Structure 1
Amino acid sequence: MTATLPASVELLDRALEYTHSRLAEVRGGLLDRPTPCDEWRLSDLLLHMEDSLDAFTEAAGGQVMVHLTLGTEGRIAAIEEKACALLGAWARPGPGDVLVGGLDLASPLLVATAALEVTTHGWDVGQATAPARIPADLAAALLPVAHLTVAPVDRGVRFAEPVRVAPDAPDDVRLLAFLGRT
């Protein structure tokens, strides 16, 4: 797990780069395609991604508020703009720990969690459009983040149960399996 904010920001940059390539495959006619997330269409996932980017960007200011996002027009452009804003917000000096829903989180862990979220949903987008594996070095860096941040209480709510894979499976396969994806 990355221990410093600059290391977490670098991890986030790699996650955004991977996800940007997956978003480049999204076309209007694909928005009704299913994703690996049960009962979610690609349009639902894109709305969730935009909201997540807003939340992680707000966290750079020290606190996260809840916002509702409506509509799907211009979604990819909005996500890409917000992804740049997220990286920019965390690349400058941060607030230290961040208050999220009453929890006090260390900035490096929060930014590494953003990288995990961005990468996972980038992979989800790819499954609905043009699948591409998560780069091995990115997956290896995100595995400890996933183990630190996904708790048993998240199962069935935010994540499916882990999928069994061989212990020597590649890091991307082990990461996705831990997050309940196949």
Structure 2
Amino acid sequence: MNSSVIARGLEQAEALLSDVPEAAWDAPTPCTDWTVRELIDHLVNLPAQFTTMALGESVDWTAPTPRHDDSAEAFNAHAKQLLAALGAHPESVPEGMLAGELSVHSWDLASAVGGDSSGFDPEIAETGYAFMSVALTDEQRGQAFGPRRPAPDGANAYERLAAFAGREVPFRPER
């Protein structure tokens, strides 16, 4: 596993979480069932879930998502635990799976709050796309991922991955 890709993905997501204004918490997101606050909760808890996986334990992906008062701080704590678990068990979690989750949800959050992914590290999304384009079949998409959509001409790595994950790119919130 290239832990630097994951570390950069975690740092990038933490920086994004630090900049979300409370006024945006009720806004819609590309994850049609979630508000910005619900997406934040999911993103904050991803490293904890992947830590559980890295330690060889079962993850209940359907369990209620905890809410944290300070999302960036909680994410940072979870990220440190994940990096330690991955350091001890480097082959326990597919790098691309984690990179894909971080990339898609970073794009989701940036798009929902009126930002974009043009300044994001493309290697993280490319790593995620390489994994997801092979591992995510139509049968596995379920509710988390919609049908693949076309990416617009000139789309960056995050936009291509988001479109592959069923997101509308660019995101146009219905307000």
Q: For this structure pair, what is the TM-score category when the shorter chain's length is used for normalisation? A: 0.7 to 0.9
Contact 2:151 2:160 (8 Å CA) reproduced: yes
Give % identity: 26
Structure with more relative contact order (C-alpha pairs < 8 Å, separation 6 or more): 1
1:112 aligned residue (96, 108, 118):
96
Rounded Cα–Cα distance in structure 1 between residues aligned with 2:157 and 2:134 = 16
Rounded Cα–Cα distance in structure 2 between residues aligned with 1:74 and 1:24 = 9
Q: What is the Cα deviation at residue 72 of structure 1?
A: 4.5
TM-score (norm 1): 0.77
1:173 corresponds to = 159
1:14 aligns with 2:8: yes
Secondary structure of the equivalent of 2:125? helix
1:87 aligns with 2:71: no
Q: How many positions carry a matched residue from both structures?
A: 164
Structure 1: stretches of 5+ with no match in the other structure: 97-106
| CA-atom RMSD in angstroms | 2.4
1:158 aligned residue (122, 144, 147):
144
Contact 1:18 1:119 (8 Å CA) reproduced: no
Structure 2: stretches of 5+ with no match in the other structure: 170-175
Distance 1:173 1:69, change over 3 A: closer
1:100 corresponds to = none
Distance 1:153 1:55, change over 3 A: same
Contact 1:62 1:95 (8 Å CA) reproduced: no
1:48 aligns with 2:42: yes
Runs of 4+ in structure 1 off by over 6 angstroms are none
TM-score (norm 2): 0.79
2:17 corresponds to = 23
Rounded Cα–Cα distance in structure 2 between residues aligned with 1:126 and 1:95 = 29
1:57 corresponds to = 51
Distance 1:177 1:119, change over 3 A: same
For 1:70-124, what per-residue CA distance to the aligned partner results, in whole angstroms no more than 9, with x for missing partners? 4442233212221222122212x2175xxxxxxxxxx252x33112111211111
Q: What is the Cα deviation at residue 10 of structure 1?
A: 2.2
Rounded Cα–Cα distance in structure 2 between residues aligned with 1:169 and 1:127 = 14
For 1:16-57, what per-residue CA distance to the aligned partner results, in whole angstroms no more than 9, with x for missing partners? 122122112112222111111103101111222233222101
